[in-house]
Amino acid sequence: MNLFNAVAILLSLALGESFSPHHPTSSQVVRKNSAVTELASSAVDTSTTTVNNMPWTMNTEKYGEYDNDVQHVDWGFAYSSTPPNAVDSYIIDDVEGEIPSDLSGVTFYKAGPGNFQRDGRQYEHVLDGDGFVFAIKFQEDGSAKYTGRFVETEYFIEEQTEDKIKYRNVFGTQRDGGVLANAFDLTLKNVANTNVLQWGERLYAFWEAGRPYEMNPDTLETLRSVTEDGPLKGLGGIDCKVRGITIDEGGPIDNIVKAGKSFTAHPHVEDEDTLIGFKIETNAQTKFMTLEFTEYDSKWNEKKATSFSVKDSLPPHDFSVSKSYYSFFDNPYGEMDNMRYLIGLKAPTQIMQLALRQPTKVHVVPRSKGQDPVTVELDHSYFCIHLNGLSEEKDGKLYLYSTGWDLTDERFFPQSQDSAPFLGAWGGAYPDFTRGKVPPSLLYETVIDVEKGTVVSHEEVRPGIVIEFPTQEEDKPNMMYLAIAAEEYTSLPSSGLCRINTETREMETWWADNKQFTHEVVPVKKQNGQPGSWLLTPLYDAGKRRTTIAILDSEDFSSGPVCRLNLKHHVTYGLHGSFARQSQSVVSDSLPAL
Q: What are the beta bridge partners of residue 331? A: none
Q: What is the pLDDT of residue 412?
A: 85
Q: What is the pLDDT of residue 68?
A: 55
- Kindly report, residue by residue over 99-129, the tens digit of the pLDDT: 999 999 999 999 999 999 999 999 999 999 9
Contacts for 115 with CB less than 8 Å, ≥ 6 apart: 81, 82, 129, 130, 132, 150
Angle at CA 231, nearest 5°, toward 199 and 198?
20
- Kindly report, residue by residue over 176-209, the tens digit of the pLDDT: 988 999 998 888 999 999 999 999 899 999 999 9
Q: What is the pLDDT of residue 207?
A: 96
The model carries a pTM of 0.87
Q: What is the pLDDT of residue 338?
A: 81
CB 419 within 8 A of CB 355: yes
Q: What is the pLDDT of residue 587?
A: 36
Confidence of residue 270 (pLDDT cuts 50, 70, 90): very high
Q: What is the pLDDT of residue 12?
A: 36
Backbone angles phi, psi at 321, to 5 degrees: -125, 130
For residue 348, count other CB atoms closer than 10 A to its CB.
25
Q: What are the beta bridge partners of residue 122? A: 117
CB 15 within 8 A of CB 194: no
Closest CA to 420 of 509, 347, 332, 487: 332
Distance CA 40, CA 488 (A): 8
Amino acid at 323: K
Confidence of residue 279 (pLDDT cuts 50, 70, 90): very high
Confidence of residue 294 (pLDDT cuts 50, 70, 90): very high
**3-state helix vs strand vs coil in the chain, percent to 5:** 10, 40, 50
Higher pLDDT, 319 or 344: 319
Whole-angstrom CA distances from 352 to 225, 335, 346, 429 are 37, 7, 10, 20
Q: What is the pLDDT of residue 258?
A: 87
Angle at CA 397, nearest 5°, toward 393 and 401?
65
Has 317 been labeled as part of a binding site?
yes
Distance CA 306, CA 321 (A): 13
Q: What is the pLDDT of residue 430?
A: 81
Amino acid at 101: S
Q: What is the pLDDT of residue 323?
A: 96
CB 430 within 8 A of CB 437: no
Confidence of residue 387 (pLDDT cuts 50, 70, 90): very high
507-511 vs 546-553, strand pairing mode: unpaired
Higher pLDDT, 185 or 592: 185
Distance CA 471, CA 523 (A): 8
Q: Which DSSP letter does residue 473 get?
A: E
- Kindly report, residue by residue over 497-532, the tens digit of the pLDDT: 999 999 999 999 999 988 889 999 999 999 988 999
Contacts for 227 with CB less than 8 Å, ≥ 6 apart: none
Closest CA to 360 of 324, 391, 325, 402: 402
Q: What is the mean pLDDT of residues 4-32?
A: 31
Q: What is the pLDDT of residue 252?
A: 87
Q: What are the beta bridge partners of residue 501? A: 479
Please report which helix (H) or strand (E) contains residue 204, including its range: strand 202-206
So where are the chain's domains? Answer: 3-590
Q: What is the mean pLDDT of residues 168-172?
A: 92
CB 21 within 8 A of CB 441: yes
Q: What is the pLDDT of residue 51?
A: 26
Q: How buried is 429 (Cβ within 10 angstroms: 0-12 exposed, 13-18 middle, 19+ buried)?
A: middle
Q: What is the pLDDT of residue 228?
A: 84
Distance CA 204, CA 217 (A): 9
Has 125 been labeled as part of a binding site?
no
Please report which helix (H) or strand (E) contains residue 469, including its range: strand 466-473
Query: Does pLDDT of 413 surpass 50?
Result: yes
CB 230 within 8 A of CB 238: no
Confidence of residue 73 (pLDDT cuts 50, 70, 90): low
Confidence of residue 477 (pLDDT cuts 50, 70, 90): confident
Q: What is the DSSP string of 298-345?
A: TTS-EEEEEEEEEES-PPPS--EE-SSEEEEEE--B----HHHHHTTS
Has 268 been labeled as part of a binding site?
no
Closest CA to 264 of 252, 286, 281, 251: 281
Confidence of residue 28 (pLDDT cuts 50, 70, 90): very low
Q: What is the pLDDT of residue 8?
A: 36
